[in-house]
Amino acid sequence: MVLSLYSAVNQDAMVIALSAFGIGLISFLTGDEGKSPSKKLPAVSAALILVAMARPPYLLLTAAVLSLVKNKSIRFIACAAVMALTAIASIIWVIYLKKSVWIPFFVPGMHVSIGEQISFIVHNPLQFIKVILNTIIHQGNIYLHQGIGDIGWLDTPMPDWYFCLTLYMAVIAAVADIFSGTTPSYRNKIESIGIPLAVCASVVLTFLAILTTQYLNYTPVGADEVIGVQGRYMIPLAIFLAVAVPHVSIPNRVRDVVGATIPLALFAWAIVTASVLSWTIIDRYYLETASRPPDFHIHIAASSDFASVPRKVGGHIDNVTVQDNHIAITGWALRSGSGNSELVLVTRYQLQDLEARKMSRIDVVNVLKDQKLQWSGFHVTGTIAPEEGNLTADDFCLVSKDPEYGDTLVDGSGAACRGDMASPR
């Protein structure tokens, strides 16, 4: 995923790099008794400030600087000062962006309001807790997959065995760090436990802050789950957990063995990653092997076909975006891997250059327990003739035709499906 982000113009690539730089510097300084960690506090703080400016919820990760301050009397003061400076920088940056290059978020047919969402949370705190739990239960596995290796438009997953291998290597690396690392001598026993716990707490709170932010900014008011969160947002959190790893003293001979074998295992994993990633990209964009279903066929039905719209509902329209006469529709439909699947866009409007691209929907597979729906996601794009006026979510309906699942109306289609849509203006 990190390599995928670096191949695009995406701020998350630099956020991940800065997170790794900051935590790597902390680990190096706290593991070497000959260094003075506090002197490097400005460099680490600068990295954390830039990370939080990119995504304000990362502000809470500044608790990691607790590891650098030897002087107990000023440790929490220094952490609070860094957090305050980070908050000020983030606020100034957000205000600047909002006044200069901010693009308001609006999806027709999806009611998003920060004020109303805050009111909903305040008046329904238990319901909001349920929303967070639902999101973690239903989408936690998705975040894990996306953070490791769902590349492209999150429609090109690495092989299943690679996800398992990566998780095993992460556990091995953590165990190796536990038995080969050293605890700074300036920490007493309580601090050796308390500081890692504080960092763990900051990571958990940051995760909840990310979910809350997306619930306010991107999710319809009162929705049962948070939408819009992607696995790449969690990569910096995993990096910061390195500071929270406790260290256990073991015999030097065992430590030498661990220190010699683990780097070789990680190097081998890096070679496997480069090879599998290269093959996945070639297979996705150049070979299009039979293991991947073809894109949807799509066509426009005449307005008289409204009456023939099926009553059976399946799938869901997640987003509809209309900008400068261009329309984009994303969601998923009941669609197997058959090449005979098609989407029918029923509307009175004249649309041109229609395309429908398949997308991987691991979330649908996880919820419905149906592996055939892995490529059920779609991304439909088209152009609206200027004389047609503005198309909204109520002005069309989307029908999926599949030889296995049959004809289904994609949930989220508008008034057109009921036949009560007014004539276009």
Helix (H) or strand (E) holding 405: none
Q: Find all residues with CB under 8 Å of 208, minimum gap 6, and list them.
A: 132
Question: Which of 378, 374, 386, 380 lies closest to 316, judged by CA?
Answer: 378
Tokens 């790794």 belong to residue: 20
Predicted confidence at residue 353, as pLDDT, reads: 79
Q: Find all residues with CB under 8 Å of 244, minimum gap 6, and list them.
A: 196, 197, 199, 200, 203
Tokens 């440790």 belong to residue: 75
Region of 343 (left: φ > 0; alpha: ψ -120 to 50; beta: rest) is beta
Tokens of 97: 């962006």
> Do you know the residue count of the chain?
425
Task: Answer yes or no: are the C-beta atoms of 373 and 334 closer than 8 Å.
Answer: yes
Domain boundaries, the chain: 2-285, 297-418
407 by Cβ neighbours in 10 Å (0-12 / 13-18 / 19+) ranks as middle
DSSP assignments along 121-151, one per residue: HHH-HHHHHHHHHHHHHHHHHHHHHHHHHEE
- Integer CA distances (angstroms), 163 to 155, 158, 171, 217, in order: 15, 7, 13, 31
Predicted confidence at residue 69, as pLDDT, reads: 62
Predicted confidence at residue 305, as pLDDT, reads: 56
What CATH number was assigned to the domain covering residues 297-418?
2.60.40
The b-or-e profile of 190-215 (16+ CB within 10 A means b, else e) is: ebeeebbebbbebbeebbebbbbbbb
Region of 249 (left: φ > 0; alpha: ψ -120 to 50; beta: rest) is beta
Task: Say how far apart CA 173 and CA 189 lie, in whole Å.
Answer: 24
Beta bridge partners of 406: 402
Task: Answer yes or no: are the C-beta atoms of 219 and 134 closer than 8 Å.
Answer: no
- Integer CA distances (angstroms), 410 to 147, 165, 419, in order: 29, 37, 16
Q: Find all residues with CB under 8 Å of 352, minimum gap 6, and list them.
A: 382, 383, 384, 385
Task: Say how far apart CA 313 and CA 399 lie, in whole Å.
Answer: 9
Beta bridge partners of 139: none
Tokens of 116: 């109303």
Predicted confidence at residue 205, as pLDDT, reads: 93
Predicted confidence at residue 120, as pLDDT, reads: 92
pLDDT averages per 10-residue partition of the chain, 425 residues? 60 86 76 57 83 88 71 73 87 85 58 86 93 88 85 78 90 78 55 75 92 88 84 90 74 74 87 91 70 60 59 81 76 77 78 78 73 81 71 74 86 61 34
Predicted confidence at residue 386, as pLDDT, reads: 67
Predicted confidence at residue 424, as pLDDT, reads: 33
- Enter the DSSP assignment of 229: -
Predicted confidence at residue 141, as pLDDT, reads: 84
Question: Which of 266, 398, 257, 285 lies closest to 331, judged by CA?
Answer: 398
Predicted confidence at residue 186, as pLDDT, reads: 47
Start-to-end CA distance of the chain, whole Å, equals 45
This prediction has a pTM of: 0.70
